[in-house]
Structures are given as C-alpha cells and as structure tokens.
Amino acid sequence: MMIEFNPGLIMIIGGLLAPMLRGHARRVLLLALPAAGLAYTIMLDPGAGAVIHFFDYSLEVLRVDKLALVWGYIFHIAAFLGVLYAIHENDAVQASMAQVYMGAAVAAVFAGDLITLFVFWELTAISSVFLIWASGTESSFRSGMRYLIVQVGSGVTLLAGALLILADTGSIAFNHIGIESLGGKLVFLAFGIKCAFPLLHNWLQDAYPEATVSGTVILSAFTTKLAVYSLARGFAGTEILITIGAVMTAFPIFFAVIENDLRRVLAYSLNNQLGFMVVGIGIGTELSLNGTASHAFSHILYKALLFMSMGAVLMRTGTIKGSELGGLYKTMPWTTGFCIVGAASISAFPLFSGFVSKSMILTALGHEGHWFVWAVLLFASAGVFHHSGIKIPYFAFFAHDSGMRPKEAPWNMLLAMGVAAFLCIAIGVYPEPLYAILPYPVDFVPYTTAHVITQLQLLMFSALAFTFLMLTGLYPPELKSTNLDTDWFYRRLAPRVLAWLRSGIAQIDRTGREALMGLIHGIMAFVHRHHGLDGTFARTHPAGTMAFWAVALLGLFLVLYLVS
C-alpha cells in the first residue's frame, strides 16, 4: 500500500539537504528531486488525500483531483527543465532555495485547506526572493525587498481572509469561495496580487528581470501560475474576472512595444498571457476552465523557453538590451531556433502549443456571447505576436548586426531549451494527451478550417503591420530608456511625499519646541519674581507653595518633551 503525502515535500526536503553535497552528487540530487516528484504524482489517483490534526482543526495536506494534477504535472516538468538549465552553476544557496520554492508551489497546489495553502504560499515568497538576490547587485537587492514585501503581504491578506471565512462558516476547506463575504474578498485580493492583476502587477516587471539567468526562468513558471490555479479553485465563474482578465491582456502590449530590456518585454508578455487564463476562469464553464488549465500548461513551457533563450543571450553577451543586440544568429543558431519555436508557440501559430489552448478560451467566450471581450482578446493575440513573436527574436538575433560573436549556449542550456521546444511542437501537433488530463471531458477540436484560417489571417496582418512600421520608421526605436509604469507612484512619488511630510512635521516640531522654550523661560521668570529666594511669597500666601510646585511640575514635563 502506497503511503500518501504531499509530493511537494520531496523537493522541499531534498532542497534543504542539497547544500550538504558537493559537485556531481549535488547535481544528481537536484535533477532527481523533480523527477521523483513527477513519478510520485503520476501514481496519485484522483480522490486520494491525507489529513493531519492540528489543535481542533483537521488540515487536508493532500487533496488530489484532476485540476490539481494538471498543475502538479507541469510544475514538476518545469522544475526539471529549470534545474537542467541551471545545472552548470555552482551556487548552493540559489539551487537549494529554487528547490524549496518549486516544491512549495507544488505543495500549495495539493493543499485542501486554506491554512495549509497559506503556509506554502508564504514559503514560495520567502524562498523565491533568493533567486533575485543571487544576482548580487544593488538593484536586485532593492527589487527583491519590494518583491518580498508584496508577496508576504499577499500571504498575510490570504490568512486574514481565511480566518474571517473560518469565523463565518466554521470551515477552512479550500473549495469554491466566491466574493460575497469580506473573507472571500480578502482571499480574492491575495490571489489577485500574486496573479499580477492590473495596478497590482508591477512587482513582476520589477523583480523578474533582476533575477539571475536561471532564476528568471524558474520564477516565470510558478508564482503567477499558482495564483491562476488558486483562482480556478476558489473563484471560477466570478464575472468580474472576465473584465480583469481582458484588461490584463491588453495593457501590457503598449509597454512591451516601447520596452528595451527584452526580459522585461517577456515579463509584460507574461501579464498578457495571464489575462487569457483569468478570462477563462471568469467565464467558469467546463470548456473555459479546460482552456485555462491547458493554456497554463502550454504557457509554462513556451514562456520558460523564451526566458531560457534570452537568459543564454544575457550570459554570453552581458546585455539583454534590444538596442545593443542583433546578428547573434550567426554564432548562436540553436538558441535562435529555440527562441523562434517559443515565439511561434506564444503567438498561437497552428501546429504549436499556444494554438490548441488559447483557442479553447476564445471559443468559450463566443459560446457565452462575450463578443466585446472576444474582440479585446483577439487584439491582444495580435499584440503578443507583435512584441513576443516578432520583437524578441528579431532584435535579439537579427535586426542590425551588433558585431558580437558570442559562443553558443552551454550544452545543458541547449538541452533544456530543446526539450521545451519539442514539447511545444508535440502539444501543438498532437494535443490529445494534454486534453486527456484536463479537469473536464474535452469536446473540442482546435484544427477546424475556421480556426486555422482566422488565426493565420490575424498573424499575417500583425506581421504586415510590424513590417510597415519598420519600413516607414514609425516603429518605436530600441533606445536606452526608463518607462514609467504605475509602480512610479510607490517607488518615486510616495517616498517624495513622505519626505515632504517628514520635513513639515520636523518644522512643526521645531516651532513647537521654540514656543515651549519661551513658555519655560516665562515660568522661570514667574518663579523668580513671585517666590523669591527667601520664600516670602510662600509664607505670606498659603497657596503659594502649591502654585509654585504646580508651575515647576509643568516645566519639568515640558523639559522632558524637549529632550525626548
């Protein structure tokens, strides 16, 4: 009989033990942990579970169903590819924390109650920040601190919501929650922060490009997709998510077009793709939730592939600025080819993975009559082809010749990219194995004449628009620049406002102290005139001594205030 436990514990415990090993032994362990976790997850059957008792509560530390298994499978695959991509590095702390982070994300997916979810939710935040700090720069430290504050704040909000739900219902089960209660609204906000909802999204573009080459690849796969899973579990059919998701798909396009840092372009593109998943959750039908799950599966692979290719460019050239790159296809042909596969996948070209998953969400929108949102997502699809499908490979590997002739990426990076590229193509060509693991029975055929022709027309017109803008000089040039996003309000404006307030308070304090000093001098003059050194006033007037000491006590309090 198999002992049932949360599969995320394999990577968490193994990751904590990894620094005790050296060299090849540690590398073998790091690769074996996600492989063992995947093998164990495959053995789990829907309906399996494990419960532990903590005080008066029963914590469902393992809850297995088809929704959790989709994320369990792809999280382990992404973990293995991320470790393989980084296996040449010799950073024990980063490798250990990456395993803990990935294991915590897996463990959170299989959590059956809100308290267990909270524990692993916070563990993902605390462990993942080391992937940002591992860069060792001042900007990565500051970015990591902001990232940690946001992520821990999301967890605290989740805990507050869970406690309110417990008080209202007497249950901490992590099932459908809804936003009717205050507790539900707080949990919704916690998930929204981690999912990078509009105006709550800036931590993503701030932190991911500051992480290490391998750290960014790993970060891109887990944090936001854990939030997507949580929304699908707790808020399926919540209509406000349709609007939120539509905005998420559209606004990053404009930032991505003018952004020069290509890893930051991919971070904005990540926001765009999350929007499709959030829309699917908001619709809440079986087709749309299948579309969300399949798109999350596909997205983790092709987004990791794109970040891998840009990471290889950064490692070999020392820069990831579009204005400084170009012509790299001459000496990095494999990386170029893998990047193009990722670009075709995210752009939803037929025969690539994005096509067979994104079309499910668009079809679900049509079935429910959300034609305006359907049009927004169609526009967003053209936009993502423009900035991730064309801009990323064009400016990195083609465009003008930068004169750089770097070596090809290391073998392990190429192997990780090759496996990810193979899966992107395999899913696009033969999606049935992916459809078979989705939460609900699939009655959807992606390769219909209408689907294929509509998508090819969309891609063709987007490519023509890019070509026209480039030939006419209207396309925003790749320049060294700083683009202002809404994080300006708390990164630049808020500190200035606080400094102004501190300056005003300090001035008020100085003025008050000067006035009090004047009052103390007046009190001293009063004592000198009316008490006298021989105590005449006190002997002549019975209340004199009491008045004197009252005034003296007031003076003492004023002095204590001034020195505080």
**Cα–Cα distance, 65 to 287 (Å, whole number):** 17
Confidence bin at 462 (pLDDT 50/70/90)? confident
Give mean pLDDT, residues 244-265: 91
pLDDT given for residue 490 in this prediction: 66
**Cβ pair 262, 396 in contact under 8 A:** yes
In the predicted model, is pLDDT for residue 547 greater than 70?
A: no
DSSP codes joined into one string, 135-197: T--HHHHHHHHHHHHHHHHHHHHHHHHHHHHHHHHS--B-S---SSSHHHHHHHHHHHHHTT-
Give mean pLDDT, residues 123-127: 97
Give mean pLDDT, residues 535-542: 46
Backbone angles phi, psi at 486, to 5 degrees: -65, -15
pLDDT given for residue 441 in this prediction: 95
pLDDT given for residue 510 in this prediction: 78
pLDDT given for residue 538 in this prediction: 44
Give mean pLDDT, residues 48-58: 87
Q: Which residues pair with 51 in a beta bridge?
A: 60
The alpha carbon dihedral of 291, 296, 298, 302 has a sign of positive
**Cβ pair 349, 459 in contact under 8 A:** yes
pLDDT given for residue 165 in this prediction: 96
pLDDT given for residue 100 in this prediction: 98
pLDDT in tens, 130-188: 999 999 999 999 999 999 999 999 999 999 999 999 999 999 999 999 999 999 999 99
DSSP codes joined into one string, 219-241: HHHHHHHHHHHHHHHH-TT-THH
In the predicted model, is pLDDT for residue 542 greater than 90?
A: no
pLDDT in tens, 398-439: 988 888 999 999 999 999 999 999 999 999 999 999 999 999
* Residue 330: DSSP 8-state: G
Give mean pLDDT, residues 242-254: 93
**Cα–Cα distance, 321 to 234 (Å, whole number):** 40
What are 122's two structure tokens? Answer: 């916070």
**Cβ pair 334, 407 in contact under 8 A:** no
pLDDT given for residue 515 in this prediction: 75
pLDDT given for residue 470 in this prediction: 79
Confidence bin at 502 (pLDDT 50/70/90)? confident
**Cα–Cα distance, 373 to 119 (Å, whole number):** 36
pLDDT given for residue 503 in this prediction: 80
In the predicted model, is pLDDT for residue 553 greater than 80?
A: no
The count of C-alpha atoms lying within 13 angstroms of the C-alpha of 511, restricted to the half-sphere facing its C-beta, is 6
Mean pLDDT taken over the chain: 89
> Which pTM does this prediction carry?
0.87
User: In the chain, what is the greatest distance between 2 CA atoms, to the nearest angstrom?
Assistant: 112
Amino acid identity of residue 127, one-letter, is: S
**Cβ pair 154, 160 in contact under 8 A:** no
pLDDT in tens, 361-388: 999 999 999 999 999 999 999 889 888 8
pLDDT given for residue 518 in this prediction: 74
What is the percent of the chain with per-residue pLDDT over 70, rounded to a whole number? Answer: 88
In the predicted model, is pLDDT for residue 317 greater than 90?
A: yes
Confidence bin at 466 (pLDDT 50/70/90)? confident
The torsion region of residue 333 among left (phi > 0), alpha (psi -120 to 50) and beta comes to alpha
pLDDT given for residue 534 in this prediction: 45
